Amino acid sequence: MGAQDGTLYLLGQNFQSGETQLPRATGAPRLSNLSQPPSRSSTPSATSPPPFYISQTARVVSGVTAEQVEAPKNYVDYDDEPDKLKDLLKGRQPRDSKERRAASTDSGRERSPTPSNLKRKELPKSLRSATHSPAFTSYPPSPREPAVEYPYDLSLWCHIIPPRYGPGHAISRVLLIDDNQSIAVLQETGDLSVFSLHDGSCLATVNGPSVTLHPPSGIEDKDASHMLWLWNHLEVYHIEESTIILASATVSPNSPSSASMDREDNGALKSRLSIFELHSNDHLSPLEVCLEKVGQWCYDGASFGVGLHKESDSTVMFFTVTTNGHFAVRSLKLLPRVALQMEVIHHPAEKDIANEIANAVSSIPLPNPFKSLKSHSAEHLPLPLGPEKRGPGRVKLEDERDLGEILEGCAPIGFRTRSIGGKVLAVCWSENQLAAFEYEMGHLRVLYTDLVVGIQDAQWTTDATYILLFGDRAESYTLDIVDRNNDTIDTNVISPHWTTIVKSQLQHTILIGEYDAVDISSSTQVLVTSLSENGARKLAAFEIAPLNASRVLWQARSSKHGSSHTSRPEITSMLPLELDVIVQGYADGVLRQSSLMQLIGESEKASHSQKVSDSPLNGFVTGLHFVQNSRTREKFIVGGGDDGSVAFWTAEYVPIRLFLS
């Protein structure tokens, strides 16, 4: 979900309700059953598993004796040598003095060793035998906080902040790419970024207007640098092994120039197009994702009326809807990089520029080291050699073919397509007219036209179903093939020589009310985002059929459990700076400072503290930390909100000032 400040909110499925289904490790026996097979019992008749788990390391250690691990006795005790020699002469096993004294002592009576000697001499039981170890007991689990039931299907998973964001960098379009593993995001400023859906990281980003290329051959080169463009359309196509991204822009209403590029256009609307190729795990970028700009040019038409289509013979067609409601196509070919490099090497213009640079370098006057230096003004600075260098594009276009009129005498304000095999189904609408048509192999056929007023958007959901969006509702339509008697005809028995009639029939009407943004790409539900009664952002799903019911999938928690505002805000975090200086974070995104007596006595006075942060966060204040600059000794409070934002507050001034969020 894109925002006006240029950031993204990723919502994921809420798994809190199914937490009890996951196995939790509460002790060693449960871990043994999950990680290792049960050990064999010491008695053959036993069939029950052992009461505790013996690890592989303990089992190996238990089989090692003390003699195997003790160091060999390489020293010689000279006091015992005469006694050992006597034992050898008598044919007995030689014994040392300690063993001889112990034997003489035990000959009279047996004595039990003292506990102190026993503790010193005997090895740990874990080394002697694992069976002597006490039975493992699982400690009681730590007390948990009471589980808070989250009533929604989705929860906020990630808040993505692109490399460039803020006022004027609003998100205009978001599309899934790379088998739904990533998203392509277009901002109004022309910044195109690719983000991973695994962790929200930015894989690639490029500013389309900053990379300038020559237009394809046959396209007039227009200088669009003086225009202020609003990038608002994005399309993704998979052609053979390439992923092609089309981004188009229209002239912004705040542009100092008019919509026409020059007077020769007679006020015709001009749009700007940029084509990118996404490289992912290929020979150009084997370890990273890269966006390469392969073409750009200006065209006569609306920004939304462009697209690519692959014909049955594998020819790629570039189509446009002109400002007068005509449908035009061109054959498009993406040049390989090898051919492009050869073309750059043999380009005569590049040779001329190289010669000019060489002549300019050879004619540079050498400075006189004995001449006194003097300051130079801006008038004496060297001028650049020429205009900004633009590279060649990789897009080759054939001549344009106008296939006919779609809307009679009306300027289109919207256009949606769907590729089905080798043909294109499309709907195009104006202020008071809607037309559906199909294109295949250079032929255009208008299926039907109708008078419809107030269309905000349209989207194909299936090959024969589309949804129209209005100010407060959405309507689902199907395309049916009928005969002259208005009877439905089975598409499997249609003869190519028949003259068929296509009719659009209303199936469902979904009342969605006021909204800020809508997604109508699904055939089963309509996603709507708007503000709730308490001012919190929410995302709701409206089922198309059969009950036409709605449910809230997610809602920002401006207060506890999304309830309405209360007279006393809720404390969500707390940071004691001193014994009598305590900073609290509240559910309204504000920091307040109170004393210990205020918190103990009357908690309502704490929420009306005189020390209040100047700018609230867009959500709960979830965590607070105290830091200090080691160089300036300035103190800060670092915290964040449940919307993913991070903020820095001062800790020494009144009021508490927010530096960065």
Alpha-carbon span 564 to 200, nearest angstrom? 32
pLDDT of 225 reads: 74
> Across-strand partners of 517?
529
pLDDT digits (tens, 9 = 90+) for 615-629: 788 778 888 888 888
Query: Are the beta carbons of 7 and 165 closer than 8 angstroms?
Result: yes
- Band the pLDDT of 112: cuts 50, 70, 90: very low
Q: What pLDDT shows up at residue 414?
A: 93
Q: In which residue are the tokens 């309507």 written? A: 475
**pLDDT band at 651, cuts 50/70/90?**
confident
For residue range 172-201, list pLDDT tens digits in order.
999 999 888 899 999 999 999 999 998 889
Check residues 86 and 173 and name the one with the higher pLDDT: 173
Contact between residue 183 and residue 174 where contact means Cβ atoms under 8 Å apart: yes
> What pLDDT does residue 531 have?
86
CA 175 remoteness from chain centre: 11
Where is mean pLDDT largest: 406-420, 476-490, 551-565? 406-420
CB-count burial class (<10 Å; 0-12, 13-18, 19+) for 205: middle
Residue 357: pLDDT band (50, 70, 90) is very low
> How much is the pLDDT for 570?
81
Q: Which of 637, 639, 641, 631 is nearest to 652 (CA)?
A: 637
Question: 466: closest CA among 438, 504, 432, 512?
Answer: 504
Q: Measure the CA–CA gap between 182 and 202, rounded to whole angstroms.
A: 10
pLDDT value, residue 268 = 56
595: its two tokens: 């004393």
* Segment 434-454, tens digit of pLDDT: 999 999 999 999 988 999 999
Write down the pLDDT at residue 41. 39
Residue position matching structure tokens 């289109």: 412
By CB neighbour count within 10 A (0-12 exposed, 13-18 middle, 19+ buried), where does 231 fall? buried
CB atoms within 10 A of CB 269: 18
Q: Where are the domains of the chain?
A: 52-65+115-134, 461-556, 563-660
Kindly report, residue by residue over 129-185, the tens digit of the pLDDT: 444 444 444 444 444 444 545 567 888 888 899 999 888 899 999 999 988 889 999
Ramachandran quadrant class, 225 (left: phi over 0; alpha: psi -120 to 50; beta: rest)? alpha
Name the H helices within 312-403: 337-345, 348-362
Instruction: Decide if pLDDT at 339 tops 50.
Output: no
Ranges 51-60, 79-88, 319-328, 406-415: which has the least confidence: 51-60
Band of residue 567 on the pLDDT scale cut at 50, 70, 90:
low
Q: What is the pLDDT of residue 372?
A: 45
Q: Are 248 and 295 in contact (CB under 8 A)?
A: no
Cα separation, 348 vs 522, whole angstroms: 52
Place of tokens 């809230």: 552
Question: What does the pLDDT read at residue 640?
Answer: 85
Cα–Cα distance for residue pair 640/71, rounded to 1 Å: 60
User: Per DSSP, what are the bridge partners of residue 444?
Assistant: 439
Average pLDDT, the chain: 73
Q: Token pair of 100, please? A: 């001889």
